Structure 1
Amino acid sequence: MLFRSLRNPVFARLYAAQTTSLLGDALTWVGLALLAFELAGQKSAIVLSGALTLRVTAFVLLSPLAGAIADRIDRKMILVTTHVIRMLIVSLLPFVTKVWQIYALIFALNVFNAFFTPTYQATIPLVTGQNDYPQAIALSAATFQLLGVLGPGIAGSVAALIGARQVFFLDALTFLVAAVLIFTLPGQLRVQPSLSNSATKGRTWRDIKNGTTRLFTDAPIRYALAMQLVASIAGAQILVNTVGYVQGTLKLGNMQYGWVMAAFGIGATISAVAFGAISRRLARTTFVLLGAALVTLALLPASYVGLPLLMILWLVAGMGQNFVNLPTQTLIADRIPSDAQGRVYGAHFAWSHLWWAVSYPLAGWLGSNFSDREFLYGSLIGLMLLVVVQLTLSPQDYEHEHESIWHEHEHIHDEHHQHEHHQGIPIGEPHTHPHEHLPMRHSHLYFVDLHHYSR
């Protein structure tokens, strides 16, 4: 079961700390959106896109370094330190009066966030062991995806109650709680020296390269990753331009903005439940295509609607966002050998954030230059890209692969069935030796191989 890993008290506390930290992140970004609108008005889209671009830039640049450091020193110290420093940084945000101060604090905040996330991910197998590691990773990834879209709705409602600037103090409290949870863990979270040495002597770059290679050579995973770019274009429009549309165009307040973002989170929750209930009935790639279409089409009329219809559209968009993200995470677990999943998940973390690094500036530019049609243009761009991805990267077939099985069986070689043997095994007499069954492939969907006909 997915929650079996929570029986491990060390992982349960780590998981509680991660969940608290993710709620803090949601408070950060909703508070930042409201603060940007307070300081920049209709130009808030530029401020938000710049801050969010700095966020993903820190992730992409520093996460590999964080993973290398996590193999050398006590990971508990890294996790606690990053939480305490982030607590101090967000405590400064209520006193911001200039846009450049937002940029400086957000970049500093996400430098330490970039060190926390991969260190936490690397710590999961360290504390759970082989049996519970898959369930722990799945639970952690599902929580990350769910709170990534549900959190803004919660945070928006909180901001409406206590105020835009005051929300950062509550944000700081979440980081303090997470730091205490990790600090009270017994002992150290340090890898054995042999494991550390094997991971740092010239292997770091090779592992990074191998993880990226696996992402782009596996057809269904490559297709899902490309669809995440489509979803990120729509998602960036929602995160960057919703506050300007609700408070600028519709002339509504913080509470109404919270309602809209809550609808987005409710949609994500519905899709998470639906995916868990029917995930075995449809191919992962079918979910991904459905999700990309939903989140992109939801934006199409959004520039011309009032609050009630906008909430409905954002609910649909939230469903689509999770229908893309959750199956993509599961595809990696389905199709990548367990001994290579870590580097592939790491590569996926970097590449999927690169998509947002492209999407945030695009959303800021559209919101600044086409403030009355930003959602329409964002939707059209996403739809064009969706069609291109579907026509060029849709996988030829979607397969489940089983691990190879070794066993021994007795057989006799005739003149047509020969291979090398150890000395002393005569031809034509019964004997046994280990025999490997190669992975079995079960095709569920069939597509025309466009590359075959174009050569």
Structure 2
Amino acid sequence: MSRLPPLLKGLENPIFARLYLAQTINLVGDSLTWLGLALLAFELAGQQSGTILAGALTLRVMAFVVLSPLAGAIADRVDRKRLMILTHLARMFLVCLLPFVTQVWQIYAIVLALNAFYAFFTPTYTATIPLVTGEENYPHAIALSSATYQFLGVLGPGLAGSIAAFVGTRQVFFLDGLTFLAATILLFTLPGQLMVRQSQQSARTVHQTIQDIRTGTTCLWSDPVLRSALVMQFVAAIAGAEILVNTVGYIQGSLQLGKLEYSWTMAAFGIGATLASIGLGNATQNIRKNQLIYVGTILLTVALLPANFVNLQGLLILWLIAGAGETLVNVPTQTLIADRIAVEVQGRVYGAHFAWSHLWWAFAYPIAGWMGSHAPNYSFFYSGFIGLGLAIVLFFMFKPWRHRDSNSGIWHDHDHVHNEQHQHNHFPNLTEGSHRHLHFHTMQQEH
């Protein structure tokens, strides 16, 4: 009998353990990439380095929004192990080009390419967790991955900064490349193929690929539980962007404190998110996930309301709560996708979700920037008020208490034939013959 806590039970699966370790190394490499980029931007542009980083982040979001649905469609049709290996090798090559950069446009080009491959890797990795861990352990495995992501978000910049100070700004990218190589070797040792079985493996056409991309978004927006979770992530993005964009101004401007206090505050946000991920990983799986998402949204938005009126100690507590709220929105949403989507469709849905969730941030960042410039003394309060009001409206609009969110049904994709015994309306030219059909299958289970 296993003595591991529930959060770590997925590591008993050797395939997931190697996959998880590869992702952890990948996250360390990501910290090295972005800290190295910040130092390189300052080396090239001095005080204008912030503009360069803002442009790089914009390109990052654009790559995720545009390419993630395509990545999800491909992940359902090919060997995911091979796809993840190729994305790591490509990113290793690209980061090793950064030490030779001499122009700002070269940074933009490499960042765009890097995040294009990142857009292919992340949905593929997330969709592979339920594939390799099985129904019993995937909620714990997703929570563990989230906790690791948040934990390294707190420690990663400091670790990367220490390494950069020791090896130098440009040399840090070569070490970054080694992290991608190490992760690639781990992925290469995974046995066999990581490929989902499809009802039909026909030759891929542009029309079929477009249909696959559409399938992911259709599942998200047609399912009332997933749709509710997705719109609540928009509320969470508004609050989260406000914290990421305007905390530094409040700490160094309104409170007249320094960079150290700012780092403490953002660490509190990351610690709150990490603790919530650990709590979810060790919790029973009988929790209503869609209702938990609303609880997280309320925590996140309510934490913003008094933030403009507190000192550093108060802000540390509020950001700890806000970080926990952010996790309570995001982790149950990922688990719900695994609950309600058949394995052969999960890559497409995770890809679509990755795109939509980052599209929310593309809207949220300008809102936070506008708040910070037009109402710097009340930006947290106004953003919290807007987010809380929107959350309440959406709560009564989607009525989450009516939905039995876990294992009450599952979306799947199958070949479909119209004949004399089976006829119903479709889009034009799809009323005869065989085609693929997205369908929600209801399961009768006791709760």
- TM-score in terms of structure 1 length: 0.73
Do the aligned partners of 1:41 and 1:244 also contact (CA within 8 Å) in 2?
no
Deviation at 1:20, TM superposition (A): 1.5
Q: State the alpha-carbon separation in 2 of the partners of residues 289 and 326 from structure 1.
A: 12
Corresponding residue for residue 27 of structure 2: 22
Residue 15 of structure 1 aligns with an amino acid whose one-letter code is: Y
* Aligned residue among 364, 374, 377 for 2:379: 374
- Whether the 8 Å CA contact 1:241–1:367 is kept in 2: the answer is yes
Distance 2:216 2:198 in 1: 24
Residues 373-418 of structure 1: per-residue CA shift (max 9 Å, x gap): 43333323322322321232233612255569xxxxxxxxxxxxxx
Question: Quick one: distance in 2 between partners of 1:387 and 1:37?
Answer: 43
Alignment-derived partner of residue 364 in structure 1: 369
CA separation of 1:104/1:265 partners in 2, compared to 1, >3 Å: closer, same or farther? same
| Alpha-carbon contact 1:24-1:171 (below 8 Å) kept | yes
**Cα displacement (A) at 1:151:** 2.5
Structure 1 residues 76 and 442, CA, compared in 2 at 3 Å: closer, same or farther? closer
User: Which residue, out of 225, 230, 234, partners 1:225?
Assistant: 230
Check 1:174–1:304 CA distance in 2 against 1; reply closer, same or farther (3 A cut): farther
Q: How many residues align?
A: 407
Please report how far the alpha carbon of residue 359 of structure 1 lies from its aligned counterpart in structure 2 after TM superposition: 1.4
In the other structure, the counterpart of 2:418 is: none
Judged with a 3 Å threshold, the aligned counterparts in structure 2 of structure 1 residues 438 and 13 are, in CA distance, closer, same or farther, namely closer
| Distance apart, 1:98 and its partner CA | 7.7
Report the Cα distance in structure 2 between the residues aligned to 1:15 and 1:116, rounded to whole angstroms. Answer: 13
* Partners of 2:64 and 2:358 within 8 A in 1: yes
Alignment correspondent of 2:215: 210
Which string of whole-angstrom CA distances, capped at 9 and with x for unpartnered residues, describes residues 101-135 of structure 1?
A: 65444323211211222343565677x4xxx4445
What amino acid is aligned across from residue 261 of structure 1 in structure 2? Answer: M
Q: Partner residue of 1:311?
A: 316
Runs of 5+ unmatched residues, structure 1: 405-419, 421-436, 444-455
1:140–1:350 CA distance, 2 compared to 1 (3 A): farther
Tell me the distance in 1 between the aligned counterparts of 2:24 and 2:245: 24
Shifted more, 298-307 versus 51-60: the winner is 298-307
1:385/1:310 CA distance change after superposition, 3 Å:
same
Superposed displacement of residue 267, structure 1: 0.7
The equivalences for 1:103-252 within 5 A come to 103-121=108-126, 128=132, 132-134=133-135, 137-138=138-139, 141-158=142-159, 161=162, 166=169, 169=173, 171-185=176-190, 196-197=201-202, 202-247=207-252, 250=255, 252=257
Per-residue deviation at 1:292? 0.5
Runs of at least 5 residues in structure 2 that lack an aligned partner in the other structure: 1-5, 411-420, 422-440
Give the number of the structure whose alpha-carbon radius of gyration is greater. 1
SS in 2 for 1:197: coil
Alpha carbons of structure 1 residues 315 and 101: separation in structure 2 relative to 1, 3 Å: farther
Relative to structure 1, the CA distance from residue 313 to residue 207 in structure 2 (aligned partners, 3 Å threshold; closer, same or farther) is same
- Equivalent-residue separation in structure 2 for 1:401 and 1:10 (angstroms): 25
Is the deviation greater in 109-118 or in 228-237? 109-118
Instruction: Supply the AA of the counterpart residue of 1:14.
Output: L
Cα contact 1:49–1:364 (8 A) shared by 2:
no
Task: Give 2:71's match in structure 1, choosing from 66, 72, 77.
Answer: 66
Q: Report if the CA contact (8 A) 1:82-1:116 is conserved.
A: yes
Q: SS in structure 1 opposite 2:400?
A: coil
| Larger displacement relative to structure 2 (329-338 or 288-297) | 329-338
Instruction: Say which is worse superposed, 32-41 or 325-334, in terms of deviation.
Output: 32-41
Q: Where does residue 444 of structure 2 map in the other structure? A: 440
The one-letter amino acid of 1:333's match is: A
CA distance in structure 1 between the aligned counterparts of 2:394 and 2:273, rounded to whole angstroms: 23
**1:210-247 Cα shifts (integer Å, max 9, x gaps):** 33223223222221211111111111222333344445
Give deviations 1:35-88, integer Å, cap 9, x for gaps.
Answer: 8799686994x6655433322221121123334555777655543343244345
Deviation at 1:187, TM superposition (A): 6.5
Over residues 132-183 of structure 1, what are the superposed CA-to-partner deviations in whole Å (9 max), with x where a residue is unaligned? Answer: 4445754553344334433321124335645688595464443232123234
Which of 277, 298, 306 is equivalent to 1:301? 306
Classify 1:54/1:346 alpha carbon distance in 2 versus 1 (closer, same or farther; 3 Å). Answer: same
CA offset at residue 343 of structure 1? 3.3
Q: How does 1:334-345 map to 2 (within 5 A)?
A: 334-345=339-350
Q: Distance in 2 between matches of 1:98 and 1:250?
A: 37
- In 1, the alpha carbon distance for the partners of 2:303 and 2:104 equals 31
Task: Tell me, in whole angstroms, the C-alpha distance in 1 between the residues paired with 2:389 and 2:46.
Answer: 32
1:317: Cα distance to partner? 0.8
Partner letter of residue 153 of structure 2? P
For 1:364 and 1:292, locate their aligned partners in 2 and report how far apart those are by CA, in whole Å: 21
Q: For the residues of structure 2 that align with 1:372 and 1:42, how far apart are their CA atoms?
A: 25
C-alpha separation in 2, matches of 1:299 and 1:338: 38
Structure 1 vs Structure 2: percent identity of aligned residues?
Answer: 53
Q: Structure 1: how far apart are the matches of 2:106 and 2:252?
A: 23
Aligned to 2:424: none
Determine if contact 2:10/2:141 at 8 Å carries over to the other structure. Answer: no
- For 1:411, the equivalent position in structure 2 comes to none
Contact 1:153 1:258 in 2 (8 A): no
Cα deviation digits, residues 187-207 of structure 1 (max 9, x gap) = 776789996536668433333
User: What corresponds to 2:291 in structure 1?
Assistant: 286
The 1:125/1:138 distance shift into structure 2, 3 A limit, reads closer
Q: Deviations over 1:316-359 (max 9, x none)?
A: 11100011112222323334455544433333222222212211
2:268 and 2:320 in contact (8 A); partners too: yes
Match of 2:18 in 1: 13
Aligned 8 A contact 1:27 1:171 in 2 = yes
Q: Is the 8 A contact 1:288 1:323 kept in 2?
A: yes
Deviation at 1:34, TM superposition (A): 7.8
8 A Cα contact 1:33 1:243, kept in partner: no
Deviation at 1:287, TM superposition (A): 1.3
Conserved? CA contact 1:71–1:199, under 8 Å: no
Secondary structure of 1:203's partner? helix
Q: Which residue of 2 aligns with 1:408?
A: none
Query: What is the identity, as a one-letter code, of the residue corresponding to 1:146?
Result: A
Look up the match of 1:272. Answer: 277
